[in-house]
Structure 1
Amino acid sequence: MKKRKIGRINKEVSAIGMGCFAIGGPFYRSTGGVLAYGQVDDEESIKAIHKAIDMGVNVFDTADIYGVGRSEKVLGKALKDYRDDIVIATKFASRFEEGNPISLAGKGTSTEYIRRAIRDSFRRLQTDFIDIYQFHSSDYPIEESIKVRNTLDDLVQEGLIGSFGWSTDDVERAKFFAESNNCVAIQYALNLTHHNRLMIKFCEEENLSGLIRSPFASGTLTGKYGPDTKIQDDHMLSRLDFSDERRRKILSKLQDLKEILTEDGRSLIQGQLSWILAQSKTIIPIPGAKNVKQIKENAGTLELEPLKSDVVDKINELFQEFITEGVLKSSL
């Protein structure tokens, strides 16, 4: 079983967590675009969470906005008998009406708002403590974020949260938050087609954990989708054009990747998670899942041997022409 340590506090956790965006179900941007991977069944989501725990996963990442509160509610229900053994990482900063999927209303960053948001998260998660409370505004102005950081420091001192982080791909923002020793993690995007070498280097230097979002480029690198795939309107990938030349080339490379990975029995998903783990010991991928089958595949990576260095090099070479770096602009 692969283990990693949360930066600065050295708490041992599973090397792979579970992202809980998908279990929140559909909600919508103020402009109308759907934010979801289709419809979900709460009981199936709970079974998936319990299966993750059975397989050794003890890091669960969510946000108050996911499913306008639904993700936190489902996670809280599933974890109520396991709380002492679990690390909950949730996020804040989006204004919304709980349960109303079309209620996104900008950002909330005042001390008053943050304190109200954490009380609401406590209620939904059925807990009185958040292990890692993350600022969920990736491009918020650094000069204005001092008030946010100070509020989070106060919440640590009051025993309401154990630590905090920022969900951002921007190293300068990460540096600012990391000036507080209570900052232990940065959540950033990393996958075969998007790297962030500066963030990895910074997290290694500062002993910060990297909670890795978008490990499969929002699902586009799972191998499930292609130019002829019919995607329902309640799925956020429905807006992508998979016949786009760059996407077609990347999807064809996935077939070559399968050949490399299946040599030692890994699936395409497990190979990508193994590749991400190989980038740095500070990294903890948080792939999303909404059913037991997906959890089995994701968490099964914990039992596999690390990728050999020559295989990592082959994968890097395979996707070299498609790599973007730094702040993620799009999923693929």
Structure 2
Amino acid sequence: MTETAQQRRLGASGPLVSPIGLGFMSFRTGSGPDDQRQATAVVDAALDSGITFFDTADVYGPEHSEILLGRAIRGRRDRVVLATKFGNALDRDSNPGHRRIDGRPEYIRTAIEASLRRLGVDHVDLYYQHRVDPTVPIEDTVGALAELVAAGKVLHLGLSEPGPQTIRRAHAVHPIAAIQSEWSVFTRDIETDTVPVARELGIALVPYSPLGRAWLTGAVHSRGDVSGQRTAHPRFAEENFATNHALAEEVSALAAALGVRPSQVALAWLLGRGDDVIPIPGTRHPEYVRENAGAVGIRLTEDQQERLGKLAEQVAGERSIRPESLGTEAPPKA
């Protein structure tokens, strides 16, 4: 993939970005010298592969991901479209590790300053509300974000996992450039309501976990291959594992027939859903960055697209550990 190959636009008037981005959530265990070397190597591989869209959040680590990414892009900020997120506030004193969803304007103003400091930049290109706060009218939240745009600290706005009516109400206050939601061969529920609303309003779609939380990489064959937070995910539970492994093997079989990697097939399927789709697979390994970037050149037939699309109907287990927090609609403004 070259820097100009098949670029896609973030929203109706947002920047052009590479068709595949890089999610930086994997960098959350620390920000020491070894972490920095690995993070910089991943960013180097991404830029060399033509990837220009980088996604992080203040809660990843917390904070480690922003710190590492900021250092890694130092001196080449002009080559990067940088996205981060706010809204998962940490209670460091009374309940360390506990996160509460916070969409209050006063919190947003402090959150952006902290993110800019950690990233070492004077603005971010895309600023997402990480989760909708069900206690704060979305009009208040987006109104505060619009003030950040006016101040030049944020160039474009995004929402992560919003409900369809929240998207409409937010967009009426200030244009929303991107919606970030889980979307993959294994997870297609946003196609029912989120995707049609986003397309009606000219909003780009940024799938996270586009590789099914590693299921679609071809690397998961037993529960021993699962580590970290994924061990608690419903789709890796013992009662669901065999079903999902069999479905993942179908992706691997198609990849083998095409002479490519399973992850590339999964990403090619998403890219084929529309020119407004920009997946952000995450990894700590440069070789996987290059592999993911190679998906841009893969074209699936209609029959292959349809075959893969049917897999989501058979997946066992919820897509999230906390499904009740996803797609929550904020109350109307009084």
With the length of structure 1 as denominator, give the TM-score of the two structures: 0.86
Mean alpha-carbon deviation: is it higher for 220-229 or for 305-314?
220-229
Match of 2:269 in 1: 275
Kept after mapping to 2: 8 A contact 1:134/1:164: yes
Matched, 1:24 2:28: yes
Counterpart position of 1:88: 82
User: Quick one: structure 1 residues 240 and 112, their matched pair in 2 at CA, closer, same or farther if it must change by over 3 Å?
Assistant: closer
Secondary structure in 1 matching 2:195: helix
Question: Which residue is equivalent to 1:73?
Answer: 67
Alpha-carbon shift at residue 66 of structure 1 (Å)? 0.5
Query: Is 2:141 the partner of 1:148?
Result: yes
Q: Which residue of 2 aligns with 1:42?
A: 36
Q: Distance in 1 between matches of 2:16 and 2:316?
A: 32
Is the contact between residue 168 and residue 174 of structure 1 (CA under 8 Å) also seen in structure 2? no
In the alignment, residue 210 of structure 1 is paired with which amino acid? L
What's the CA shift for 1:143?
A: 5.8
Give the secondary structure class of the aligned counterpart of 2:184.
coil
Equivalent position amino acid for 2:251 in 1: L
Deviation at 1:106, TM superposition (A): 2.0
Note if contact 1:130-1:162 (Cα within 8 Å) is conserved in structure 2: yes
Residue 35 of structure 1 corresponds to: none
**SS at 1:283's partner residue?**
coil
Counterpart of 1:222 in structure 2 is 217
**Shift, 1:69, TM fit:** 0.6
Could you tell me which of 139, 154, 160 is aligned with 1:161? Answer: 154
The Cα offsets for residues 206-230 of structure 1, whole Å up to 9 and x where unpaired, read as 1101111111222233332244415
Name the CA shift for 1:84/1:178 in 2 (closer, same or farther; >3 Å). Answer: same
Structure 2 CA distance, aligned partners of 1:263 and 1:318? 18
Residues 169, 328 of structure 1: 8 Å contact kept: no
Matches within 5 A, 1:185-264: 185-195=178-188, 196-197=190-191, 198-229=193-224, 231-232=226-227, 235-240=228-233, 242=236, 244-264=238-258
Q: Give the CA deviation at 1:243.
A: 5.8
Question: Which whole-Å deviations, capped at 9, do the CAs of 1:276-322 have from their partners, x for residues lacking one?
Answer: 111122110000111212211111223x1322222101212344333
After TM superposition, give the deviation of residue 127 of structure 1 in Å.
0.3
* Amino acid aligned to 1:253: L
Instruction: Say if 2:183 and 2:207, in contact at 8 Å, map to a contact too.
Output: yes
2:125 matched to 1:121? Answer: no
Percent of aligned positions with the same letter in both sequences?
25
Distance 1:306 1:179, change over 3 A: farther
Question: CA shift at 1:22, angstroms?
Answer: 0.5
- The answer to whether the 8 A contact 1:192-1:323 is kept is no
SS in 2 for 1:41: helix
Counterpart code for 1:263: A
Q: Secondary structure at 2:152's aligned position in 1?
A: coil
Q: 1:257 to 1:121 in 2, by over 3 A?
A: same
Instruction: Report the Cα offset of residue 131 of structure 1.
Output: 0.6
Paired residue for 1:36?
none
Q: 1:228 to 1:158 in 2, by over 3 A?
A: closer
Query: Unmatched 5+ residue regions in structure 1?
Result: 27-39
CA 137–62 in structure 1, closer or farther in 2 if over 3 Å, else same: same
Q: Which moved more, 1:80-89 or 1:177-186?
A: 177-186
Q: Which moved more, 1:104-113 or 1:50-59?
A: 104-113
Kindly tell me the number of residue pairs found equivalent between the two proteins: 312
Task: Decide whether the 8 Å contact of 1:210 with 1:282 is kept in 2.
Answer: yes
The CA distance in 2 between the partners of 1:66 and 1:194, in whole Å, is: 23
Instruction: Tell me if structure 2 keeps the 8 A contact 1:142–1:176.
Output: no
When residues 323 and 192 of structure 1 are mapped into structure 2, their CA distance, relative to the original with a 3 A threshold, is farther
Query: Secondary structure in 1 aligned to 2:126?
Result: strand
Say if 2:2 is the partner of 1:7: no
**Unpaired runs of 5+ in structure 2?**
324-334
| Match of residue 174, structure 1, among 147, 167, 182 | 167
What is the rounded CA distance, in whole Å, between the counterparts of 1:257 and 1:212 in structure 2? 18
Identify which of 170, 176, 188 aligns with 1:183. 176
Q: What whole-Å deviation, never above 9, does each CA across 1:66-107 have from its counterpart, x for those lacking one?
A: 011110000000111111121111000122378xx9443423
| Cα root mean square deviation, aligned | 2.6
Q: Closer, same or farther in 2 for the Cα pair 1:4/1:80, shift >3 Å?
A: same
